[in-house]
Copies of this chain bind each other. A is one copy, B any other.
Amino acid sequence: MNNNPYSSHTEADRAAMLERVGIKSVDELLTAIPKDALRPKLGLPAGMSELEIQSHLESLASKNRTAGSGPFFLGGPVQRRYIPAAVPVLALRGEFLTAYTPYQPEVSQGTLQSIFEYQSLMCELLAMDVANSSMYEGGSAVAEAAFMAVRVTGRKRVVMASEVYFEFRRTVRTYARGPDLEIVEVATRDLASAAEGAACLIVQHPDAFGGLVDVRRIADAAHAAGALCIQVTEPHANALLEPPGALGVDIVVGEGQPLGIPMSFGGPYLGVLACRNALVRQMPGRVVGETHDARGMRGFVNTLQTREQHIRREKATSNICTNEAIAAITAAIYLALMGPEGLSAAARLGVAKAHALAHRLGALPGCSVSTDGEFFDRFALRVPRLAAGPEGSGYAMRNALLVDNVLVEATAAHYGDRDDLIIQCTEMTTDAEMDSLVAAIESIAASVRETVTAR
């Protein structure tokens, strides 16, 4: 009887193996385990056939409302973007998917060259010198970048713009509890003036509300104060915006999910981290380098490993081991397929749709775009008050729209006491979706005005 459908051992195999080992039962090998703890009943459900588990998961999945099944304007670090059909076909090939960290380069060149190409493509996109082969996701990448700055400057104060994504800021705060860093949050506009004594200034561009930021000014201020400038960025924005490397940024971090990786309700994603050459020895994570083999053929290996935990242990630049390699390979495939024009087109479409939509929504009674200054493919919208209390506008509207099956994000208390909507567009946003959003907000707001005037 096989309870594990993936075990290749028959009863005959097991008998033969036991005999070779010279025992009657595996329990003879478990003498080190306290008797009272041996072979507990776990209370887990019994096994299933593949057919049974497939239909079980289909029924669970049917209890979700997928992004594509209705008007959808959520975004931020995670974006609903078009994934070319060739991306999963290539990235999910068993030879990539079921390999592990390329410890043995002679039989891992597929992984190593693909990651080297990922590093190169990210450097092209961001105009940076070095990109590592991945961090877990955006939030922890920002935290690791802050740690880097602390090591480089020997300072323990991290100054962060409050227009950085809430989830990123919160993750940085958690990480900061380790080395007991001081975290200061100030508005982007005040960032430059807060550089004194800071290890780094962390700015996001485009920011959480899609706002475009004069990063150069902030970088200059940071450098003047002996601090580093860390920019949180988004991949597609760099196709159209001057890249961090041209703005004086020292470390670039961000969420790489929009580069062909499914949204999957939170992960696995791709933590992007790139920096200047001077900082490479303080960089966390793996990095692949080019070399040659004994016969003079080009080849690639994991390199600069003296930064890493398996060699430096407590002195390592990070504890990261398993990373998000397949996501990096996926991003490389995505960028290779999209090319400069495809990537730019996707970015342009988001920008164009966001501006068209902002124009329409801003014209509705009681509504106004509340991103200050220029915005990119996402904007904040102030909406009429629907209820009393600190969340009577944006959050109340978000909930009212949910009833109409329209999904938008509310700033809620994530961004100070601001109570607006955040609306993200990408190349996937359809005219029909935009019409639904405009119509829904209009009618919700109208119905409220009635009740008000009715009094």
What residues of chain A have their CB less than 8 Å away from a CB belonging to chain B? 50-51, 54-55, 82, 84-85, 89, 93-94, 427-428, 430
Closest 5 A/B residue pairs (Cβ): A51-B82, A50-B84, A51-B427, A50-B85, A89-B94
A5 — nearest CB in chain B belongs to which residue?
B342
For the complex, give the distance between the alpha carbons of A427 and B50 in Å: 12
Interchain nearest-CB distance for A259 vs B (Å) = 16
The complex places the Cα of A94 from the Cα of B93 at a distance, in Å, of 10
Per the bound structure, the CA–CA distance linking A94 and B88 in Å amounts to: 13
Contacts of A55 on B, CB cut-off 8 Å?
Answer: 430
A82 to B54, CA, bound (A): 10
A sample of 8 more A-B contacts (CB under 8 A), given A50-B82, A50-B84, A93-B93, is A50-B85, A51-B82, A51-B427, A51-B428, A54-B82, A54-B85, A55-B430, A89-B94
- Nearest-neighbor residue (CB-CB) of A427 within chain B: B51
> Distance (Å) between the CB of A79 and the closest chain B CB?
14
Chain B residues near A430: list those with CB within 8 A.
55
Name which residue of chain B comes closest to A55, CB basis: B430
Set of chain B residues within 8 Å of A427, measured between Cβ atoms: 51
Q: How many copies of this chain does the complex contain? A: 2
Residue of chain B at shortest CB distance from A93: B93
A-B residue pairs in contact (CB < 8 Å), sample of 11: A50-B82, A50-B84, A50-B85, A51-B82, A51-B427, A51-B428, A54-B82, A54-B85, A55-B430, A89-B94, A93-B93
Measured between beta carbons, the chain B residues less than 8 angstroms from A94 are: 89
**Cβ of A222 to closest chain B Cβ, rounded Å:** 39
- Kindly report which residue of chain B lies nearest to residue A51, judged by CB atoms: B82
In angstroms, Cα B430 to Cα A430, docked, is 37
- Chain B contacts of A51 at CB under 8 A? 82, 427-428
Q: Which residues of B contact A89 (CB under 8 A)?
A: 94
Contacts of A428 in B (CB 8 A): 51
Chain B residues with CB below 8 A from A82, complex form: 50-51, 54
By a CB distance below 8 angstroms, the chain B residues around A50 are 82, 84-85
Chain B nearest CB from A80 CB (Å) reads 12
Assembled-state Cα–Cα distance A239/B54 (Å):
24
Closest B residue to A90 using CB positions: B94
Nearest-CB distance from A261 to chain B (Å)? 17
A54: chain B residues within 8 A (beta carbon):
82, 85
Q: Considering residues A51, A82, A89, A93, which has the most beta carbons from chain B within 10 angstroms of its beta carbon?
A: A51
A56 shortest CB reach to chain B, Å: 12
- The distance in angstroms between the C-alpha atoms of A430 and B55, with both chains bound, is 10
A369–chain B nearest beta-carbon distance, Å:
27
Nearest-CB distance from A114 to chain B (Å)? 16
A81's nearest neighbour on chain B, judged by CB, is B51
Cα distance, A93 to B89, chains bound together (Å): 8
Q: Report Cα–Cα, A84/B85, bound state, in Å.
A: 22
The chain B residue with its CB closest to the CB of A430 is: B55
Residues of B with C-beta under 8 A to A93: 93
CA A430 to CA B56, docked complex, whole Å? 12
A422 to B243: give the CA distance in the assembly, Å.
Answer: 66
Chain B residue nearest in CB terms to A337: B50
Distance between A366 CB and nearest chain B CB, rounded to angstroms: 33
CA distance A427 to B84 in the complex (A): 34
Q: Which residue of B lies closest to A50 (CB)?
A: B84
- Please indicate the chain B residues that have their CB under 8 angstroms from the CB of A84 in the complex: 50
| Cα distance, A427 to B52, chains bound together (Å) | 10
> How long is the Cα–Cα vector from A51 to B50 in the complex, in angstroms?
33
**How far, in whole Å, are A50 and B94 apart by their CA atoms in the complex?**
25
Of all chain B residues, the one with the shortest Cβ separation from A345 is B49
C-alpha gap A54/B428 in the complex (Å): 11
Measured CB to CB, the nearest residue on chain B to A85 is B50
Q: Given the complex of chains A and B, what is the CA–CA distance between A94 and B94 in angstroms?
A: 12
Q: How far in angstroms is the closest Cβ of chain B from A2?
A: 10
Shortest distance from the beta carbon of A432 to any chain B beta carbon, whole Å? 11
Bound together, the chains give a CA A304 to CA B51 distance in angstroms of 40
| Min CB gap A11→B, angstroms | 15
A160 CA to B55 CA in the complex, in Å?
Answer: 41
Q: In the assembly, what is the distance between CA of A54 and CA of B89, in Å?
A: 16
